Structure 1
Amino acid sequence: MSTGKGRGRPRKDPDRLARWTPPEGWSRLVAWVSPEEKKALKHVAVDAGVSVADLVRALAGGLAAGAITHGELLGHVERGRDVMEKIPTLFERDDRFRVVDRPRAECAWVFEGAGTGTEKLDGTNVRLTVRSGLLVRVEKRRNPSKAQKQQGIVDGWYVDAAEGAEDKWIQAAARNTDVSGWPDGEHPCEALGPRIQGNPLGLEEHRCVPFNVQVPAYEDVPRSYDGLRDYLATLDSRFAPGHLAEGIVFHHPDGRRAKIKRRDFA
Structure 2
Amino acid sequence: MTRGRPRKDPSTLQRWTPPEGWSRLVAWISPEEKKALKHVAVEAEVSVADLVRSLASGLASGVITHEELLGHVNRGKQVMEKIPTLFERDERFKVVDRPRAECAWVFDGDGVGTEKLDGTNVRLTVRSGRLVRVEKRRNPGKEHKAQGIVDGWYVDTTADPEDKWILEAAGNTDVTAWADGEHPCEALGPRIQGNALGLDAHLCVPFNTDAPVLETAPRSYAELREFLAELDSRYAPGHLAEGIVFHHPDGRRAKIKRKDFPRSA
TM-score, with length taken from structure 1: 0.63
Question: 1:236, 1:163 → 2: CA distance?
Answer: 36
Alignment partner of 1:202 is 2:198: yes
Partner of 1:230: 226
Name the SS for the 2:195 alignment partner: coil
Partner of 2:121: 125
What is the deviation of 1:89? 1.6
Alignment partner of 1:249 is 2:231: no
Name the SS for the 1:243 alignment partner: coil
Alignment partner of 1:136 is 2:111: no
Aligned length: 183
- Give a deviation string over 1:86-116, Cα, whole Å, max 9, x none: 2222122233333222212222111111121
What is the deviation of 1:148? 4.1
Deviates more, 1:89-98 or 1:229-238: 89-98
The letter for the 2-side match of 1:160 is D
Question: 1:142, 1:96 → 2: CA distance?
Answer: 24
Q: 1:111 aligns with which of 107, 110, 126?
A: 107
Name the SS for the 1:187 alignment partner: strand
The letter for the 1-side match of 2:155 is V
- Give a deviation string over 1:125-165, Cα, whole Å, max 9, x none: 11111122211111112334444445454443322101231
- Give a deviation string over 1:207-261, Cα, whole Å, max 9, x none: 1001132111111311111111121122221111121211101112222221111
Alignment of 1:40-119 (within 5 A): 86-119=82-115
Name the SS for the 1:198 alignment partner: helix
- Percent identity for Structure 1 against Structure 2: 78
Unaligned ranges ≥5, structure 1: 1-82
Q: 1:160 aligns with which of 156, 169, 184?
A: 156
Question: 2:238, 2:185 → 1: CA distance?
Answer: 23
The letter for the 1-side match of 2:238 is G
The letter for the 2-side match of 1:230 is E
How much is the aligned-residue C-alpha RMSD, in angstroms? 2.1
Partner of 1:12: none
Partner of 2:186: 190
Max Rg structure: 2
- Give a deviation string over 1:49-92, Cα, whole Å, max 9, x none: xxxxxxxxxxxxxxxxxxxxxxxxxxxxxxxxxx9x82222122
Name the SS for the 1:96 alignment partner: coil
Name the SS for the 1:168 alignment partner: helix
Partner of 2:177: 181
The letter for the 2-side match of 1:215 is A
Name the SS for the 1:218 alignment partner: coil
Q: 1:221 aligns with which of 212, 217, 220?
A: 217
Question: 2:136, 2:144 → 1: CA distance?
Answer: 18
Q: Check 1:148–1:230 CA distance in 2 against 1; reply closer, same or farther (3 A cut).
A: closer
Question: 1:231, 1:198 → 2: CA distance?
Answer: 23
Unaligned ranges ≥5, structure 2: 1-78
Name the SS for the 1:86 alignment partner: coil
Q: Check 1:94–1:147 CA distance in 2 against 1; reply closer, same or farther (3 A cut).
A: closer
Question: 2:222, 2:164 → 1: CA distance?
Answer: 41
